[in-house]
Amino acid sequence: MNMLPIVRFSQKEYLEELQQGHLFMRNIAYYQQYDKTDTVRSDQFDGSLPSFEYIPHPYEDKVIPSSGHFMRFNSFITCFFHYQHIYNDFLIIPPASAQDLKLLNCSYALVVNTDRFIDALQSHYNESTTVYGDVSYFSENQLRAELAKYIPPAHPTHIDHLFEFIKRDSFKNQQEFRVCIMKDTPAVKLFEEGLSKPIAQLSEKHMSILTNSTLTLDIGSIKDFSQIIPTDILFNYSVGIKSLNIGY
């Protein structure tokens, strides 16, 4: 059993929607647009490798090789937080993490039993297209090393790295847990039609189709193993896991 619950921060009405089983997701490109405008989520390379040099040859599996980003454009994600701090069955948000999360201006958090959430997800969606887990945080040198796997003379036949679970190490206080699904939605297909043009020539309007595309999964009610609590409590006190009645 995983004694470390996952936590989602949002407005109360959205968390209630999630409890009903509606898992709202955004295209990975959405989170890249925040750079320097949102101090919590401002990673322009979120879910991608920064292309420090141009990658000239094409790849399969919905990947954009370009100067700027190396990413899958049919990936949709939703984010939780997974804090590795449990003491005597109490959940403790580290002060540095709490400081960052307060900037989200969310009044409520949803604490979820991780194992039962994963069970609900797996019972509704194919494991080959739905991936979940903790985010890895890389330094710039580590990102360069990862990117080198895809730059000539290396010629892989497919992409074997989950870019969606990569962030720069300046964001490591967040300790994210992500759910990612790869799906060719109508918006993704429309974007794909434009890829006949050079990447640099794609219009801002065309890119916004991808950036603003969303997806909602129905995973069934999770109300029996989740609890909404005010963030003031979560940030300022140790929260007893068992007292939440979420299955631990």
In terms of phi and psi (left: phi > 0; alpha: psi -120 to 50; beta: otherwise), the region of 175 is left
Predicted pLDDT of residue 158: 47
Residue 232 placed within a domain: yes
Distance CA 239, CA 234 (A): 7
- Looking at the 3D structure of the chain, how many domains does it have? 1
Domain of residue 120 covers 6-244
Diameter of the chain by CA atoms?
57
Residue 193 placed within a domain: yes
Q: What is the DSSP letter of 192?
A: H
Residue 1 placed within a domain: no
Residue 238 placed within a domain: yes
Q: Which residues pair with 186 in a beta bridge?
A: none
57-107, pLDDT tens digit by residue?
454 456 665 546 677 788 899 999 987 666 668 888 888 888 888 888 899
Distance CA 45, CA 66 (A): 13
Which stretches of 10-148 are DSSP H helices? 12-19, 28-32, 95-102, 114-124, 140-147
12-30, pLDDT tens digit by residue?
999 999 999 999 999 988 8
Q: Which residue has the tokens 């996952």?
A: 6
Residue 180 placed within a domain: yes
What pTM was estimated for this model as a whole?
0.84
Residue 115 placed within a domain: yes
